[in-house]
Amino acid sequence: MAAQDAAVDSLRDRETGIEQEHLDRVYRRLEEKIDEAEFLMRDAGKRGQVGTPGALAERDAQVFRAGIHLNRLNNEFEDFLFGRIDLLPGKDGERGPDGAYTSVEPADDAVREDNTADIAETLHIGRIGVLDSDYAPLVIDWRAPAAAPFYRSTPKAPGRVVRRRVIRSKGRRVLGVEDDLMRPELTAFLDGGELPVIGDGALMAALGQARSHTMRDIVSSIQAEQDLVIRAPAASVTEVSGGPGTGKTAVALHRAAYLLYQDRRRYSGGILVVSPTPLLVAYTEGVLPSLGEEGQVAIRAVGSLSDEAAGVEGATTYDEPAVARIKGSSRMLHVLRKAARGALEQPAPRRAATEEDGQLSFGDEEAPRPPRGTPDRLRVVAFGARIELEADELKRIRHNVLGGSAPVNLLRPRARKLLLDALWNKSSGKGRYTDPELIAELRSSFDEDVSTETPFLTFLDAWWPELTPRQVLAAMADERRLGRWARRILNPGEVRRLARSLKRLDADGRGPLSVHDVALLDELHTLLGTPHRPKRKREMDPLDQLTGLQELMPQREETQWERAERLAAERTEYAHVIVDEAQDLTPMQWRMVGRRGRHATWTIVGDAAQSSWSDPDEAAAARDEALGSRPRRRFTLTVNYRNPAEIAELAAKVLALAMPGMESPAAVRSTGVRPRFETVRDGGLAETVREEARRLLAEVDGTVGVVVAMDRRAEARGWLAELGERVVALGSLEAKGLEYDATVVVSPAEIADESPAGLRVLYVALTRATQQLTVVSGERDLPDEDGVPDLLRD
């Protein structure tokens, strides 16, 4: 036995050594390329401003590209090289642009009658492609067509692949290899020797690893059904559904990198990834840089998608479920339409303002102030006489201007014009001449005189103020006014709740926003419109400003990440929109996201069984509206890579209650560790949860997540304060998309009772662990003698 183990070890060492040699060659080549890039930059710097403008531009572009390349090479990705496939000869013998054979199917005579074959081609797969000096592929980019068999090949449909190898490396050192045989029936030869096979496969090795607070890419172990989604053509809409842990988020992010690789020019319009929470953004945002992509992709939480949320770093607070339900509903669109127009009229201020000559006095501050009570009379002097418009005339004019659906702030010029018309009609100027030319001249000077006088300007500012979305939202905190705008749309109870939830905002709408407020603000932004203002000077494109090395350096000071942030901030529409956890978008959020992808192609990933929105049909209708009539391509992911079977089995009980008849995905592995059930011990809930978290911290190497009902969040953070950074307390809605080595789910009944979608939220909570799960029951859970709460019993 010992001799056999030693043989296996020496084979492993030999194969690891072979890959080390290859990696050394790759790094030698990378060093050559770095030297080349550095030379190019030095040379360009020396040459300064000589040559024709065209040649200079070309040289500058080359320097810029070399600089970026250099940066990437210097980054020395962990696992720079991660895969290898050994292939049979191809059918047609043609080679693609990366130097690899293009055919997927083996040549007819590739396998001899005695089931032996020769390996005709070996490809190494890595994060970026590297060619040797003869343009032969040393490393193939994982997104290149030649790399597809690495992911697609299965023992059922192996194509040309005989052996797939995952190479584990760190920096320049190969740590080990894991092989999967795609044609186990075959004896294959490479360089005269039999092709050896090492280990039990890479997927299991990857899944067993401890989790940290950031997601890892899965580039070395993407599975065939996932690869089909990642490489699906970008046209129209790609919809991906799949249960918890099937890799939807991972696939969505890898797809973004793939699309950029495929058609960088097209996606220079930007890719937007919409995520449900800032926690999930923080968890996932490292994946794209690890795949060599960051510049063009913006990952945004739905609560910070709108510029209207700027200044509060996006919204992170949640409304109570009944309020969230109102704010998310498409009925709000009708309320907002009325509010955007109705908010023009300000109720009279509590403290009486001084009125003088038909105008409200605003004191002598110069800065524009929010309106304080709408004036009901306009009085100006023209042709030496006073002209007045009374309340009912003003009302008629307002009504006239507001007919139609144009954005309110853009109607101000029209309001101004109708006011001047009405004043002119009352003036003595109107009947002064009969000659149309003279009338026109007089009218034009009347307009100019009146409309530049302070009384008119001050009146217009107060009577037709330029409203901000936040001011309108704040106006909706007045229950009486909101009641008018929401008549026959919301019932009185809903009006009261909604108004009360907005009392947090001051008159200008400053104050803490909830996640659902953001979609309302974004809608208001559209309803109000932004009057045209002179544009700020455009920042120059790096290629515009480069003239050599000296200019390249300051440019480097803006990191790729900052550049992405800046570009995203300037962008309002994207070339491709990816929606993660799409089942959670409310109808109003779909409208907000839809506006950012009116001309985009889309990838939408989600799982109806995890929806925390109470009315999935209404959300589906809003989603259809956002996507329009674009054709859809649908995929389903079927394997749960996160939860061991023992945990998946328990979660399936809740799924059966939440969505009867819905199938849960098959867990890919089992650990033999069953979920634990605890009831509150003597020290109370805090002590019980703390003890359990402490125990789990000792059991696993990575992270522990404690999931509680939303209104216990702050309390739970206090319970765990002393346990260090590996443990995190989360509200049930915050757990979306995240995962931990071990989780403690506190009181399933509390989570399930939180909202109409509570059972689905509980299903999410129960599917977060990669290794161990403990359920702690309180009284409401009616635990049996084994501590199993009623919701989780058979």
Ligand X SMILES: Nc1ncnc2c1ncn2[C@@H]1O[C@H](COP(=O)(O)OP(=O)(O)OP(=O)(O)O)[C@@H](O)[C@H]1O
> In the numeric block, which tokens belong to residue 61?
């572009």
User: In this chain, which of 89, 129, 244, 594 binds ligand X, going by CB under 6 A?
Assistant: 244
User: In this chain, which of 226, 277, 771, 772 binds ligand X, going by CB under 6 A?
Assistant: 226
Q: How far is the CB of 228 from ligand X (least distance, A)?
A: 12
| Binding span for ligand X by CB under 6 A among 215-223, 258-266, 382-390, 695-703 | 215-223
C-alpha gyration radius of the chain: 33
Question: 340 to each of 344, 347, 357, 495, 511, how far by Cα in Å?
Answer: 7, 15, 29, 16, 20
Q: How far is the CB of 162 from ligand X (least distance, A)?
A: 21
**Residue 480 contacts by C-beta under 8 Å, 6 or more apart in sequence?**
none
> In the numeric block, which tokens belong to residue 431?
């009947």
Q: How far is the CB of 164 from ligand X (least distance, A)?
A: 13
| Binding span for ligand X by CB under 6 A among 241-249, 387-395, 413-421, 654-662 | 241-249
**Within positions 588 to 607, which residues make up the interface with ligand X, using CB under 6 A?**
607
User: In this chain, which of 247, 371, 429, 675 binds ligand X, going by CB under 6 A?
Assistant: 247
For residue 81, what is the enclosing H or E element? strand 81-87
Residue 158's nearest CA partner among 130, 128, 189, 180 is 180
Q: Report whether 559 belongs to an annotated binding site.
A: no
**Within positions 398 to 427, which residues make up the interface with ligand X, using CB under 6 A?**
none
Q: How far is the CB of 209 from ligand X (least distance, A)?
A: 9
User: In this chain, which of 16, 249, 359, 427 binds ligand X, going by CB under 6 A?
Assistant: 249
User: In this chain, which of 203, 288, 519, 706 binds ligand X, going by CB under 6 A?
Assistant: 203
- Using CB under 6 A as the criterion, what x/- string covers residues 642-681 for binding ligand X? x---------------------------------------
- Grouping H, G, I as helix, E, B as strand and the rest as coil, residue 650 is helix
Residue 584's nearest CA partner among 708, 476, 737 is 737
User: Does 290 contact ligand X by CB under 6 A?
Assistant: no
| Binding span for ligand X by CB under 6 A among 202-210, 520-528, 686-694, 742-750 | 202-210
Which region holds residue 80: left if phi is over 0, alpha if psi is between -120 and 50, else beta? alpha
Alpha helices by DSSP H, 352-403: 391-402
**Residue 83 contacts by C-beta under 8 Å, 6 or more apart in sequence?**
124, 125, 126, 142, 147, 150, 164, 165, 166, 167, 220
Between CA 648 and CA 655 the distance in angstroms is: 10
For residue 502, what is the enclosing H or E element? none
Residue 252's nearest CA partner among 270, 226, 233, 278 is 226
Between CA 206 and CA 447 the distance in angstroms is: 75
Q: Please, which residue, 207 or 410, has the CB nearer to ligand X?
A: 207
Q: Report whether 314 belongs to an annotated binding site.
A: no
User: Does 250 contact ligand X by CB under 6 A?
Assistant: yes
> In the numeric block, which tokens belong to residue 12?
């492993």
Strand locations in 357-396 (E) = 359-360, 378-382, 385-389
Q: Report whether 156 belongs to an annotated binding site.
A: no
Q: Report whether 242 belongs to an annotated binding site.
A: yes
β-sheet bridge partners, residue 655: none
User: Does 246 contact ligand X by CB under 6 A?
Assistant: yes
Q: How far is the CB of 761 from ligand X (least distance, A)?
A: 12
Burial of 165 (0-12, 13-18, 19+ CB in 10 A): buried
Contact 140, 147 (CB under 8 A): yes
| Binding span for ligand X by CB under 6 A among 222-230, 323-331, 472-480, 546-554 | 222-230
Q: Please, which residue, 95 or 213, has the CB nearer to ligand X?
A: 213
User: In this chain, which of 767, 771, 772, 777 binds ligand X, going by CB under 6 A?
Assistant: 767
Residue count, binding to ligand X (CB under 6 A): 24
Q: How far is the CB of 639 from ligand X (least distance, A)?
A: 8
User: In this chain, which of 73, 110, 177, 218 binds ligand X, going by CB under 6 A?
Assistant: 218
User: In this chain, which of 143, 248, 379, 596 binds ligand X, going by CB under 6 A?
Assistant: 248
Q: Please, which residue, 755 or 767, has the CB nearer to ligand X?
A: 767
Q: Report whether 245 belongs to an annotated binding site.
A: yes
Residue 523's nearest CA partner among 371, 335, 345 is 335
Q: Please, which residue, 276 or 303, has the CB nearer to ligand X?
A: 276
User: Does 741 contact ligand X by CB under 6 A?
Assistant: no
Contact 565, 270 (CB under 8 A): no
| Binding span for ligand X by CB under 6 A among 76-84, 244-252, 306-314, 338-346 | 244-252
Do the strands 639-640 and 666-667 form a parallel or antiparallel pair, or are they unpaired? Answer: parallel
Residue 210 C-alpha from the chain's centroid: 25
User: In this chain, which of 446, 590, 613, 641 binds ligand X, going by CB under 6 A?
Assistant: 641
Q: How far is the CB of 312 from ligand X (least distance, A)?
A: 26
Q: How far is the CB of 301 from ligand X (least distance, A)?
A: 15
**Other beta carbons less than 10 A from residue 722's beta carbon:** 9
Mind spelling out the 3-state secondary structure of 13-26?
Answer: HHHHHHHHHHHHHH
The residue behind tokens 């995890």 is: 610
**Other beta carbons less than 10 A from residue 38's beta carbon:** 13
Q: How far is the CB of 767 from ligand X (least distance, A)?
A: 6
**Within positions 124 to 183, which residues make up the interface with ligand X, using CB under 6 A?**
none
Q: Please, which residue, 211 or 591, has the CB nearer to ligand X?
A: 211
User: Does 222 contact ligand X by CB under 6 A?
Assistant: yes
User: Does 245 contact ligand X by CB under 6 A?
Assistant: yes
* Binding residue ranges for ATP: 242-249
* Binding residue ranges: 242-249
Q: Which residues bind ligand X (CB under 6 A)?
A: 203, 206-207, 216, 218, 221-223, 226, 242, 244-250, 607, 610, 641-642, 737, 739, 767
